[in-house]
A and B are shown apart, each in its own frame.
Chain A
């Protein structure tokens, strides 16, 4: 079964440990500029949203690549770059609708989330579970449960209000 990263930004504390472990895991150094995941912040409002690759089925980065360096790994469900073929034109960076394809100015290479080969370190280190690694078909079920809970709570509150009238 294909698994995906499920991000619940409301749980994110904005600590950026995911960015740190991502760069250590892939490059052996600490440098968020090398991280595949990045927390977008609206500090003045206290809002933090982790952004990473969605591993699209019909991936624009894959479609736009002029030398076919990007392909889908069907076992893992990830979109991967073959650096032996990649010419570094950055077309994929320009076309990604999520900004998930990055460009590293130190190594002069594009880079993206590879799900750490099936054990994403961002997930492993996130104690608050703002990022989870779940079966692709379960995401909507978890969301349904959350929404159902909100509906139920609202209904209960409504009933209590009505009773108080």
Chain B
């Protein structure tokens, strides 16, 4: 390679790439204030989700109405967003959740966050409520609140194209809500592009409650790179590490459906709500079949990717048949296979692809809506719901038409059941009554991913303790399923903080799992603060970058010098902030609706299908409780899951820190 132009070297010397700002936007008053983000704040929270947690804690009142003007909707990129690091595409959105009444947090790929950075910002704090529908337009440091009367009512993609047309720039990126967000469905999402979704905890519902249809951004401002030559070279190395992992190579061909297929093969997939742990006769929705349809409709090169990412895990397809035949969309991901395939026991690719298209257009969390409908299906088969409540709809498992009909009814709050389910699991269970709550597979009011954790204690601990309700992306030690030798586990899990406690290669074991979940929790928090994708860390692949590799990326791109231990401590600090928020909003360890608990079926109903070591397995109550104790102890939390004084002191959270931003 020839030497890089001299001017690159000159420009890069000791430049701090951290000049992106924060904007406070009040939709009630129209007041907009922008401020730099102090270096002190960066050193404590980095950016992205961690800094969002700090902002949420300080900019909302205890017990505030998630749909009221007092809730703060926070959008951000990570500290590495738009730099010369790999896959810095992630947008993070945080607010108090209307679904859980606790921490709301969602993350999406695409191109929004980098564009926000080129427009001059890393964090937006949106408060108040607009009198009429509006959208926010951010362009090279300027922020304007604009009338959205003409786009209210449009689907997610229609909205994005209409904004581009109105403002006359096809490079505008928008984070928008669809009809579900406008209709205040408690799990409406925020979307950008065709299918990138900040799906969980109803962030689209919060936008809808503020009469905010979209945030549109466009930027052509430089994001300074502290050491561009080194950043470029290190990025090349980093990409090689990422693309050499087998798991990412497979993702690049089959996308996330491959994880669904693999998990289903051994019995880790929820089927018929939670009756079975494997979906049988699923040939038509296996990843290879989905891939065939993508190839038939989009040609041999049908994978696409988020900003600057070489994993390209997102498939492109056109709906092959049925009422939406010929419609272009992207995905389906694992969650669409679960929501419209495995869980409701509808085993047709056409249904999965149509369902995926509907949620993408309406802007609703596919995971949550699929689980809600499957729950209703079980209640219907049990006679807890009858055709009176369903307005005559035959809501049994395997009824593809009823499934798709329910998606529309929920998003537009049609009929008694559609309206009831749109409020989210806990209020719906209250309204339906009888024993309906017992069948709701939720934690903290949010439904679980379409996976079944009865045979995997580590994964069960993960979903029970995740800070945003039942969720796999907060702390899942997915590599626990690979039966890696203890030596390998130790290498990963005793860095950067030494750990000499037990570690087990056996996924059915309870040994050492709390530490693994604790480690992953910090790992994923760090990733979310950096603003990169979880496929670029120890999530699905054991060889992928983690704490040891991030200091260099951080230094070359931002000039910030940090050790792996310091990054770990930041992650711990931010996880404690989320814990403090949840405790403030009512988290109690054993509360079945707001605690670190699991649905009773995890303990009482053994797995009926799957691999020999999975059949018959269930979670042992006593051992589970011991895992929770141990998990809290690793955090420096007491038996009730409340951070101890010395923990808060160690992390610098013991004094009122709200003055920083």
A: residues with CB less than 8 A from B are 10-17, 20-21, 24-34, 43-46, 48, 105-106, 116-119, 121, 124-125, 127-128
**With A24-B84, A25-B232: A128-B312 Cβ-Cβ less than 8 Å:** yes
* B228 contacts A16, C-beta separation under 8 Å: no
Known: A15-B309, A121-B232. 15 other contacts (CB 8 A): A15-B304, A15-B308, A16-B308, A20-B308, A21-B232, A25-B8, A26-B5, A28-B225, A29-B11, A30-B118, A31-B223, A46-B316, A46-B328, A106-B222, A128-B312
Once the chains are docked, how many angstroms separate the CA of A2 from the CA of B534? 42
B111 at the interface (CB under 8 A from A): yes
* B301 contacts A44, C-beta separation under 8 Å: no
**With A13-B303, A30-B82, A117-B2: A44-B11 Cβ-Cβ less than 8 Å:** no
Nearest opposing residue in chain A for B309, CB measure: A15
Residues on A with C-beta less than 8 A from B83 are 30
Residues on B with C-beta less than 8 A from A12 are 301
* B228 contacts A29, C-beta separation under 8 Å: yes
Once the chains are docked, how many angstroms separate the CA of A44 from the CA of B9? 40
* B243 contacts A127, C-beta separation under 8 Å: yes
Nearest opposing residue in chain A for B4, CB measure: A25
* B2 contacts A118, C-beta separation under 8 Å: yes
Residues on B with C-beta less than 8 A from A10 are 299-301
* A15 contacts B312, C-beta separation under 8 Å: yes
Once the chains are docked, how many angstroms separate the CA of A12 from the CA of B302? 9
A-B contact count (CB 8 A): 116
**With A119-B1, A124-B236: A24-B231 Cβ-Cβ less than 8 Å:** yes
* Interface footprint category on B: 35 or more
* A15 contacts B84, C-beta separation under 8 Å: no
Residues on B with C-beta less than 8 A from A25 are 4-5, 8, 228, 232
Nearest 7 A/B pairs, CB to CB: A33-B220, A28-B11, A29-B222, A28-B228, A28-B8, A15-B305, A13-B312
B: residues with CB less than 8 A from A are 1-2, 4-5, 7-12, 82-84, 111, 118, 157, 161, 193-194, 220-225, 228, 231-232, 235-236, 239, 243, 298-310, 312, 316, 328, 330
Residues on B with C-beta less than 8 A from A29 are 11, 222-225, 228
Residues on B with C-beta less than 8 A from A11 are 301
* B306 contacts A15, C-beta separation under 8 Å: yes
Nearest opposing residue in chain B for A38, CB measure: B171
Once the chains are docked, how many angstroms separate the CA of A117 from the CA of B303? 31
Measured CB to CB, the closest approach of chain B to A153, in angstroms, equals 11
Residues on B with C-beta less than 8 A from A28 are 7-12, 224-225, 228
Once the chains are docked, how many angstroms separate the CA of A17 from the CA of B304? 12
Task: List, sorted by A's number, 12 A–B pairs whose CB atoms are closer than 8 Å.
Answer: A13-B305, A15-B312, A16-B307, A16-B308, A17-B307, A24-B231, A25-B8, A25-B228, A28-B12, A29-B228, A30-B118, A125-B239
Residues on B with C-beta less than 8 A from A34 are 222
Once the chains are docked, how many angstroms separate the CA of A17 from the CA of B312? 12
Return the contact of A31 from the options B1, B222, B308 (Cβ within 8 A): B222
* A31 contacts B312, C-beta separation under 8 Å: no
Once the chains are docked, how many angstroms separate the CA of A75 from the CA of B289? 50
Nearest opposing residue in chain B for A8, CB measure: B301
Once the chains are docked, how many angstroms separate the CA of A156 from the CA of B618? 54
Once the chains are docked, how many angstroms separate the CA of A11 from the CA of B252? 13
* A14 contacts B232, C-beta separation under 8 Å: no
Measured CB to CB, the closest approach of chain A to B43, in angstroms, equals 22
* A43 contacts B193, C-beta separation under 8 Å: yes
**With A28-B7, A29-B228: A44-B111 Cβ-Cβ less than 8 Å:** no
Once the chains are docked, how many angstroms separate the CA of A156 from the CA of B239? 39
Residues on B with C-beta less than 8 A from A128 are 301, 310, 312
Return the contact of B239 from the options A13, A105, A116, A127 (Cβ within 8 A): A127
Measured CB to CB, the closest approach of chain B to A161, in angstroms, equals 17
Instruction: Identify the interface centre among A14, A24, A26, A125: most chain B CB within 10 Å of its CB.
Output: A24
Measured CB to CB, the closest approach of chain A to B65, in angstroms, equals 36
* B309 contacts A17, C-beta separation under 8 Å: yes
Return the contact of A15 from the options B232, B235, B307 (Cβ within 8 A): B307
* B310 contacts A27, C-beta separation under 8 Å: no
Nearest opposing residue in chain A for B222, CB measure: A29
Nearest opposing residue in chain A for B224, CB measure: A29
Residues on B with C-beta less than 8 A from A44 are 157, 161, 194, 328
Measured CB to CB, the closest approach of chain B to A42, in angstroms, equals 10
Once the chains are docked, how many angstroms separate the CA of A54 from the CA of B68? 56
* B239 contacts A20, C-beta separation under 8 Å: no
Residues on A with C-beta less than 8 A from B5 are 25-26
Measured CB to CB, the closest approach of chain B to A117, in angstroms, equals 4
Residues on B with C-beta less than 8 A from A121 are 232
Residues on B with C-beta less than 8 A from A27 are 7-8, 11, 222
Nearest opposing residue in chain B for A41, CB measure: B170
* B84 contacts A30, C-beta separation under 8 Å: yes
Return the contact of B236 from the options A14, A116, A117, A125 (Cβ within 8 A): A125
* B194 contacts A105, C-beta separation under 8 Å: no
Residues on A with C-beta less than 8 A from B307 are 15-17, 20
Measured CB to CB, the closest approach of chain B to A49, in angstroms, equals 13
Nearest opposing residue in chain A for B298, CB measure: A46
Nearest opposing residue in chain A for B7, CB measure: A28
Once the chains are docked, how many angstroms separate the CA of A121 from the CA of B231? 13
* B4 contacts A15, C-beta separation under 8 Å: no
**With A15-B305, A127-B310: A31-B328 Cβ-Cβ less than 8 Å:** no
Residues on A with C-beta less than 8 A from B236 are 124-125
* A46 contacts B304, C-beta separation under 8 Å: yes
Residues on A with C-beta less than 8 A from B298 are 46
Measured CB to CB, the closest approach of chain B to A119, in angstroms, equals 5
Measured CB to CB, the closest approach of chain A to B661, in angstroms, equals 24
* A26 contacts B8, C-beta separation under 8 Å: yes
Residues on B with C-beta less than 8 A from A46 are 194, 298, 302, 304, 316, 328, 330
* A14 contacts B304, C-beta separation under 8 Å: yes
* B194 contacts A24, C-beta separation under 8 Å: no
Once the chains are docked, how many angstroms separate the CA of A16 from the CA of B111? 9
Nearest opposing residue in chain A for B232, CB measure: A24
Residues on A with C-beta less than 8 A from B306 are 15
Once the chains are docked, how many angstroms separate the CA of A93 from the CA of B232? 29
Instruction: Identify the interface centre among B118, B243, B305, B316: most chain A CB within 10 Å of its CB.
Output: B305
Measured CB to CB, the closest approach of chain A to B161, in angstroms, equals 7
* B157 contacts A20, C-beta separation under 8 Å: no
Residues on B with C-beta less than 8 A from A43 are 193-194
Residues on B with C-beta less than 8 A from A118 are 2
Residues on A with C-beta less than 8 A from B118 are 30-33
Residues on A with C-beta less than 8 A from B225 are 24, 28-30
Measured CB to CB, the closest approach of chain A to B328, in angstroms, equals 6
Measured CB to CB, the closest approach of chain B to A53, in angstroms, equals 17
Once the chains are docked, how many angstroms separate the CA of A15 from the CA of B89? 10
Nearest opposing residue in chain A for B318, CB measure: A46
Residues on A with C-beta less than 8 A from B10 are 28
Nearest opposing residue in chain A for B118, CB measure: A31
Residues on A with C-beta less than 8 A from B302 are 46
Once the chains are docked, how many angstroms separate the CA of A17 from the CA of B308? 4
Measured CB to CB, the closest approach of chain A to B302, in angstroms, equals 8
Nearest opposing residue in chain B for A128, CB measure: B312
* A30 contacts B222, C-beta separation under 8 Å: yes
Residues on A with C-beta less than 8 A from B305 are 13-15
Once the chains are docked, how many angstroms separate the CA of A15 from the CA of B110? 9
Measured CB to CB, the closest approach of chain B to A15, in angstroms, equals 4
Once the chains are docked, how many angstroms separate the CA of A117 from the CA of B161? 39
Residues on A with C-beta less than 8 A from B239 are 125, 127
Nearest opposing residue in chain A for B223, CB measure: A30
